[in-house]
Structure 1
Amino acid sequence: MNKYLRYLSLAVLAVMLFSCKSGEKLYNQGRYDDAVKAFVKKLQRRPSDATSLSLLPQAYNAAMEFHEGRAKQALASNNDLKWESVKNEYRSMQNLYNIIRSAPAANAVVKPKDYSSAITGALENAAEARYERGVQLLERGDKQSARQAFEEFDAALRLTPNYKNAKELRDEAYAIGLVNVMVSEIEVRSPYYQFTADQFRDALVRNLQTRNINTFVKFYDSRMVRGDSKFRPDQYMEMRFMDFIVGQTYVDRYSRDVSKVISVPGSKKDSTGKAIMVDITVKATVFVTTKTVASNGVLDYRITDVDNNRVLRQDRVPGSFTWRNQFGTYRGDERALSEEDRRLMGGRDIPPPPPQDLFMELTRPIYDRLASDLQSFYNQY
């Protein structure tokens, strides 16, 4: 037990010596903030540590000189956003204040300066700078400037919540910078089938709305805004399914022989009267029927500017889907069948889905590709 306590004491002493040395090392490296933290941490454990009591004031003064110098340098610049840099330096110094105040021994040798009021003032000035930039941008009246103004007002509110009327101006900037994209009815051009692609459009618009691919782009279903005199689209997206074709049902039939060696009780018995197991080969013929129906089509989409009717993007997205049904029967010994063969035996002959269902399956890969294309396109805005 005494041996364990001796080792424990040596370990604690080693940690304390390392902590002290690490504080000195940080100080000698010019990492004054970290040195202050190390010395205060040491004094929280050993309030009478001579090295920490001696070097802490020097480390604190050096850290303060560094941050105050950077704050003065920022204030002397012509940068509109200089108060944000000043705020960061004030917060670093306030952090040192809080650290030193947490240890009575540290507070006894250093009287740290409280920068809480200075931080509040810097935040007000920083918010005002962002606010003024936003006002100037908003006065330009164009979409791009309005989007930049939105960012400025948003930054002002992050610096100082509820600053002046920044929230109202941010909402106004958003409304001006917004691009409203109206998705038209989707036409399905096929010489054989007549139906609409409303389900596809519903899913597409819903996904584009929830993806939030761009803060300043919103998608609307034309059916939802029809008759709304206040709604004015900026862009119009037209979509047509071209050459939607459902092929003939293709039937493939084949057979294969299967066999398996199994153990069964024989006619002979052992000394206990139990039948001796013997290996036999069981055989069967599996008859497999596979029915397939291939469907394919191309989605042609075009995005135009409502004001000048200029085509902004146009592309075609191909897609295909193959329906498949497979089932089987067998003749012979069922024990020869594999697990896969048994699954085939569980299948049944069913008719292909109607063209509308095949069309919806066909649109799934097209939908994913189109959504990805639109995200890439509108990320440029």
Structure 2
Amino acid sequence: MFKTKLRNVLLFIAMLIASALLAQYLSGRQLSYKGLVGSANELYVDLVTYIYHDDTVKNAQTNEVVVKPISLQILKQHHRPQIDTTRCVDVSLGEVKYTQQGDIYSWTDSEGIAHFSDKKPSLNATPYNTGFVDTLDYFELTLSTPNLPASFKQALRVKLNAVFKVYGQIIGVDSLRKVKLDLRVLATQTDYENAVRRRGGDPTNTQGIYFNSSNTAFINYNNEQSAMRTAVHEAVHAINKAVLGSTPRWLDEGLAEYFEHTNNTMQTVSVEPSTTWLKNHTLSTSILTLNELLNQQDNWQRGESTKLYASSWAGVYFLMDSKQGKDFLKSIMLEQQKSPCVQLTPLQLQSALAAHFPDLNNDYMQWLKTPFRAHHF
């Protein structure tokens, strides 16, 4: 019997390794020891989670369905968008492919009306080179949205394209990476909580949770507007992970909060001030200074989450409000991209901040006193 059990264990391990190799191959990731361990761990967690939640029995006295206790500990994955450095792998889908559009032809008809077309007309026309760069494949989006209109997915795609457009303006299109996004919108609070718990997460006081290991986000549906903002928020976490790597929490959450309020008009992207953190155009809660915020990396799980989220949003909004702020973001985002498995330290961030804002505290305090304005890209 011992030999039979040993054979079963060895067979299980062999199947787990083979499945992990297949998962890496099908996802387009480079085969590596760390990637293999990460894939095997994810498959193991999903299997144990499935066993834990489906191996149920009935209590003979109460007739209630209860879960059989097992000795295996399930890996808990809370809302931590940072990469787990024990399995740091490239989760992007490679470089973004882009092309420049051809000439646009313009002409004036007999009634003096100007016309523009990407097809050359039979009559004489003047070629007009727009120089516009058309991006083809920023991301692969899998969106599960029960009971939501098809227009929701299209509207979300437009907003996420806008996020990439802004990132491209800050760090350059050549530095972007294609991202795989798997977003699942749950119709009820119960469905949302059950889905998150099946993954080993804690849905308490959350509207959305992003899981690093599977690059998947679960979103609780309250109404269409709220679901859209949460979907954008969680998608930005996935974008940051694939494009930048293991970003400091304030930057990751600040960018996610910032892009929740993205709007698109023709070729223009606008980001409105957050209605979550503002009342009558002024902050509705106290916030930390930027230097204080940079030192809070270890306090997110035990600190004042409201203040941390508000401070992160305000900090990113301040940086996006000026050229020197965008230059600072460019410098730290590209620096983070060089070492995606190791977060930039508070000392590195403060040094870069001082180089771009010699009088930071005064600049920030004065800026907070002025009305918040929309940003246009």
Q: In which range does the TM-score fall when normalised by the shorter chain?
A: under 0.3
Q: Which has the higher strand share?
A: 1
Higher RCO (CA < 8 A, seq sep 6+): 2
* Structure whose residues are more often helix by fraction: 1
Q: TM-score, normalised by structure 2?
A: 0.20
Whichever of the two has the greater Rg, that structure is 1
